Homo-oligomer: A and B are copies of this chain.
Amino acid sequence: MEHLIEKFRQFIKQKGLKYTPEREEILREILSLEDHFDVESLYLQLKKKNSKISKASIYRTLPLLVEGGYIQEVYKQGGHSHYEVTLNKQPHLHFICIQCGEVKEALDHRLNNLIEEFERQSKYRFLTYHLEIFGLCPNCREV
């Protein structure tokens, strides 16, 4: 945990930016989250801990965390972006219920193998992928 914070500090400095308590606080909070999150939930979570961090700072920090490889934007829902911590996590797919909004993750190595093979067969450089499957969850399908 602390070494991730330290690496973030180095990342920020190396970009010629200033290392601020706000940036560190946002990273710490995100690393403590288990689930997907969005700006609103992160903001409320911080507020609950009496943090005075503004949404503007959150909006300004998230792209840095994406660039540093800490988080990824994984899907849009309800008109806004949702993120997740990507450290120690393999690329995976998201199933999204179009009825109730439930989001479920699944990991399958065959998918990752296939995508790696796509890359080898192409002239592109693959950095990341999003696979979103839309449909009905077990609850919603029985209507």
A124 touches B110 (CB 8 A): no
A residues at B contact (CB < 8 Å):
76, 93, 95, 97-98, 104, 106, 108, 110-111, 114-115, 118-119, 122-138, 141
B127 touches A130 (CB 8 A): no
Q: A106-B118, A114-B110 are in contact. Are A125 and B130 (CB under 8 A)?
A: no
B135 touches A127 (CB 8 A): yes
Q: A110-B114, A129-B132 are in contact. Are A124 and B98 (CB under 8 A)?
A: no
Residues of B within 8 A of A126 (CB): 95, 133-135
A131 touches B130 (CB 8 A): yes
A97 to chain B, nearest CB (A): 8
A138 touches B123 (CB 8 A): yes
Besides A106-B118, A124-B135, 11 new A-B residue pairs in contact (Cβ under 8 A), listed by A number: A76-B76, A98-B127, A108-B114, A108-B118, A110-B114, A119-B135, A124-B133, A128-B133, A128-B134, A129-B133, A130-B134
Residues of B within 8 A of A133 (CB): 115, 118, 124, 126, 128-129
B127 touches A129 (CB 8 A): no
Residues of B within 8 A of A122 (CB): 95, 106
CA A137 to CA B64, docked complex, whole Å: 23
CA A141 to CA B123, docked complex, whole Å: 9
